[in-house]
Amino acid sequence: MEIKRPMYMDSHATTPVDPRVLEAMLPYFSETFGNAGSIDHAYGAVAAEAVKKAREQCAHTLNANSEEIYFTSGATESDNIAILGVADQYASKGDHIITCVTEHKAVLDTCKHLQKIGKSVTFLPVDQYGLVDPGAVEDAITDKTVLISIMTANNEIGTIAPIKEIGKIAHKHGVIFHTDAAQAVGHIPMDVKNMNIDLLSFSGHKIYGPKGIGGLYVRSSNPRVKLSPIMFGGGQEKGIRSGTLNVPGIVGLGKALEIAGKEMGKAEKQYRQWTTQMFDAFKDEYPSVMLNGHPTKRLAHNLNVCFPGIESKALLHLLRDDLSISAGSACTTTSVEPSHVLLAIGRTVEESHSAVRFGLGKNNTEKDFVIAIEFIKKAINCILKFK
Task: Write the DSSP symbol of residue 224.
Answer: B
Nearest to 58 by CA among 215, 212, 183: 215
Question: Among this protein's residues, is 111 annotated catalytic?
Answer: no
Residues in the chain: 387
Task: Write the DSSP symbol of residue 152.
Answer: S
Alpha helices for 90-233 (secondary structure H)? 105-116, 134-140, 163-172
Cα distance between residue 36 and residue 44, in whole Å: 5
68 neighbors 218 (Cβ within 8 angstroms): yes
327 neighbors 333 (Cβ within 8 angstroms): yes
Beta bridge partners of 338: none
CB atoms within 10 A of CB 269: 10
Cα distance between residue 57 and residue 39, in whole Å: 21
Cα distance between residue 178 and residue 93, in whole Å: 17
For 61, residues 6+ apart whose C-beta sits below 8 A from its C-beta are: 185, 186, 190, 257, 258, 260, 261
Catalytic one of 58, 111, 306, 331: 331
Alpha helices for the chain (secondary structure H)? 19-25, 27-30, 42-62, 75-89, 105-116, 134-140, 163-172, 247-285, 312-319, 340-344, 349-352, 366-385
83 neighbors 114 (Cβ within 8 angstroms): yes
Cα distance between residue 74 and residue 62, in whole Å: 17
Cα distance between residue 176 and residue 149, in whole Å: 9
Cα distance between residue 379 and residue 268, in whole Å: 29
- What residues are labeled active site? 331
